[in-house]
Amino acid sequence: MTPLRPPDKTGAVFLDRDGVINEIIFHQELGVLESPFTPAQFHLKTGVAEAIRRIHRLGLKAVVVSNQPGIAMRHLTKRALEAITQKMQEGLRRRKARLDGIYYCPHHPLKGKGKLRRRCACRKPKPGLLFQAARDLDIDLRRSYLIGDSITDIEAGLRAGCLTFLLAHLKCDLCNLMAQRNIRPHYLVKNLANALKKIRLLEGVRYRRS
């Protein structure tokens, strides 16, 4: 008896969280733009739920991969991060959207406290979070995409073998940084909706060639 051929692995769209899924917060006491430290500070960006629904309509998985060093730097607790994550999931659920996986790196190599101060394999620009998600969720990284708003996001996606999208305005400092580090996203896009339009076109081409 001939064994059944296992189904092909699916692709995914990996999403950075802060600046892509939710708004960045200005923390006046620290004088920095950073991720939210409390659930009250967490707000989904406009159009995120629709973008995630589009990801699933394309037959792809939607996975968050995010550095969250605020835990290591004691800006927030693990319980606060869990509450923020729950608010994100509930907000998406109310809008008929869902995430297939959420992966965080809680470490910081320089500013971390205690055991969380270390050089790890999961902190972007290293691709450890993407590799872990691929193992857990049976994802083909070569058929996957990464959408982020920083060079570290893009580098992680490139190192994992994904097509990469940078949400960015064409600012000189960003262009200079990309040139200095010799890192180029595959696509520069204005927002998440534009990234999904391009992915839909790419998936159409891939389907016709298969």
Q: Is-catalytic flag, 16?
A: yes
Q: In whole angstroms, give the CA distance from residue 148 to residue 98.
A: 18
Q: What is the residue whose two structure tokens read 């064994």?
A: 3
DSSP 39-82: GGG--BPTTHHHHHHHHHHTT-EEEEEEE-TTTTTTSS-HHHHH
- Does residue 138 have an active-site annotation? no
- Structure token digits, residue 5: 């051929």
Q: Which of 8, 16, 138, 153 is catalytic?
A: 16
The answer to whether residues 52 and 97 touch, using CB atoms and an 8 Å cutoff, is: yes
Catalytic residue among 8, 18, 153, 173: 18
The residue written with tokens 């999931």 in the block is: 89
Distance CA 16, CA 11 (A): 16
Give the Å distances, CA to CA, from 203 to 26, 30, 100: 37, 43, 19
Residues with catalytic function: 16, 18
